[in-house]
Structure 1
Amino acid sequence: MATIYSCLRSLTEPCKPRNSSWSPTKTPSIFNLLPASVPGRHPKLTLQFPLKPPPLSSLFIKPHKPLQPNCSGSRVRCLFTGIVEEMGTVKNLGFDQNNSFTMKIGAEIILEDIHLGDSISVNGTCLTVTEFDTVLSEFSVGLSPETLRKTSLSELESGSLVNLERALSPSTRMGGHFVQGHVDGTGKIVEMVPEGDSLWVKVKVGRELLKYIVPKGFIAIDGTSLTVVDVFDEEGCFNFMLVAYTQQKVVIPLKKVGQKLNLEVDILGKYVERLLSSGFVDSFKSS
């Protein structure tokens, strides 16, 4: 089954027809396919992924009038609670235009009051609804190259389950914590150990994110609001536990050791760090 990597042959070159005799002679990665001028691109990334020509029926999705993402920019335009509403199923993914990548997801609850331009958290990533069909129970979202670089959505394939949550409304109960849907990075599962009907999950993460993770603190993992149990600084890891109920409602237990998880740390830690580094506390004391 073709993954997103196997769909990304080129951001400027249309895919070959199904009956084409084309066969790959090189194995370009998604990172090499993206423009070198994109800010934040890491020059040392050399991961390679084999490509296969995907079926056109599952690759192309009817394009829709482009919409501006609701969660772009530095201002917080949407919030989530991290309480997953349902698990949707990826139905199609691929290019709908030369430089536009689209994912179509099957869902039910999300479609109850959906509108074009709505913000939906997909595995913790804030994405914009570009098309929907309540009869077929499906909606589409656009994926930018930066989103594919920064999140684990690049590992999805047709048939994958994803966590879904609509943006907060004024009457929503605040059952989790403030989640922006702006993924800070990914972590890798290094251990999954059952204890009774609960599940311990241990995740390895870079030092740049680990500093914001504290025991008993909030963290959004694939869009799920969870509580950190312990932080292992020497190992560069943290862990959390999923109770039996949560295991039935989110995609994390379906993943395996070695797979990636989208991580969004608590925004409060970033604000505190910014205030301390700017000298705000010292100036406040002296005033």
Structure 2
Amino acid sequence: MFTGIVEEVGTIHAIKKGSSSMQLVIKCNYVLSDVKKGDSIAVNGVCLTVSEFSKTQFAADVMPETFKATTLFALQIGSRVNLERAMAANGRFGGHFVTGHIDCVGEIIAVRPIENTIYMDIQINPAFQAHLVPKGSITVDGTSLTVFDSSEQGFTISLIPVTQADSVIGHKRIGDYVNVECDILAKYLERIVSKKETKPSGGLTMGALAKSGFLG
């Protein structure tokens, strides 16, 4: 579990690619202070497992499903990435509940600097619109942000100066792709509501129990 509060921006030092998988070696500093093999570190919002590490870098493997479903496949040597260690049980929860499991890839379709803020419009698959709530939480490339507005195309976020400076999202441009994770609470709620809507009005029956394998 993560919070979406980026701890450090790392740099891709090496990439070993397969046809649909890859290993990343990421140079960093802060997140290595207490790292152990098998620890979880979110890389641009994607939960990865530390397979090797030294004082200046760590390695993590990207499996085929993650390779296909996120933007990690497009990383190059020198790319900068948001990094966050898994949330410690005694830590302060500054963002929101983030799992590190990406829902979809979004495309930045507009960037509008206004005063000290950057507004970004991000287009996503319409299937995920039900999980967007104005003023609710959203994770973009591992950064916990607020949904400023939503539309049929996607949603709008606003980046304050500290987010612009301390994460990669502030340097994205129109046409760039980002990893998007919707608020897990919204996903659970949508799931519960959809289940209630499809539940038979008759409630629990012997036929339903038999169909589910509870009766011999």
Q: TM-score, normalised by structure 1?
A: 0.67
1:20-169 to structure 2, matched below 5 A, reads 79-95=1-17, 101-134=22-55, 137-169=56-88
Q: How far is the alpha carbon of 1:268 from its aligned partner?
A: 1.3
Give the counterpart letter for 2:149 in structure 1.
D
Q: How far is the alpha carbon of 1:239 from its aligned partner?
A: 0.4
% identical aligned pairs: 42
Q: For structure 1, which runs of at least 5 residues remain unmatched after alignment? A: 1-78
Partner of 2:155: 238
Distance 1:215 1:99, change over 3 A: closer
Give the counterpart letter for 1:197 in structure 2.
N
1:207 aligns with 2:129: no
Pairwise CA RMSD of aligned residues? Answer: 2.0
Counterparts of 1:209 and 1:274, CA distance in 2: 12
Q: TM-score, normalised by structure 2?
A: 0.88
Q: How far is the alpha carbon of 1:282 from its aligned partner?
A: 7.3
Specify which structure has the bigger relative contact order, considering alpha-carbon pairs within 8 angstroms and separated by 6 or more residues.
2
Give the counterpart letter for 1:133 in structure 2.
S
Asked if the contact 2:131/2:190 (under 8 Å) is kept, the reply is: no
Q: How far is the alpha carbon of 1:258 from its aligned partner?
A: 0.6
Q: How far is the alpha carbon of 1:108 from its aligned partner?
A: 0.4
Distance 1:112 1:149, change over 3 A: same
- Which consecutive aligned stretches of 4+ in structure 1 deviate over 4 angstroms post-superposition? 97-100, 280-283
Distance 1:98 1:157, change over 3 A: closer
Counterparts of 1:176 and 1:122, CA distance in 2: 16
1:226 aligns with 2:145: yes
Give CA-to-partner distance per residue, 1:212-262, whole Å, 9 cap, x none.
Answer: 1110010010000000011112xx121010011110001012222111110
Partner of 2:208: none
Counterparts of 2:4 and 2:53, CA distance in 1: 23
Counterparts of 2:26 and 2:104, CA distance in 1: 23
3-state SS in 2 of match to 1:209 = helix
Asked if the contact 1:93/1:103 (under 8 Å) is kept, the reply is: yes
**Aligned residue pairs, count:** 202
Q: How far is the alpha carbon of 1:209 from its aligned partner?
A: 1.2
Counterparts of 1:192 and 1:116, CA distance in 2: 39
3-state SS in 1 of match to 2:187 = helix
Asked if the contact 1:275/1:281 (under 8 Å) is kept, the reply is: no
Partner of 1:50: none
3-state SS in 2 of match to 1:113 = coil
Counterparts of 1:281 and 1:266, CA distance in 2: 23
Counterparts of 1:199 and 1:184, CA distance in 2: 24
Give CA-to-partner distance per residue, 1:182-206, whole Å, 9 cap, x none.
Answer: 0011100001110112111110111
Counterparts of 1:239 and 1:99, CA distance in 2: 31
Which of 98-107 and 244-253 deviates more?
A: 98-107
Distance 1:258 1:109, change over 3 A: same
Counterparts of 2:178 and 2:22, CA distance in 1: 21
Q: For structure 2, which runs of at least 5 residues remain unmatched after alignment? A: 205-216
Distance 1:197 1:99, change over 3 A: closer
* Structure in which a larger fraction of residues adopt strand: 2
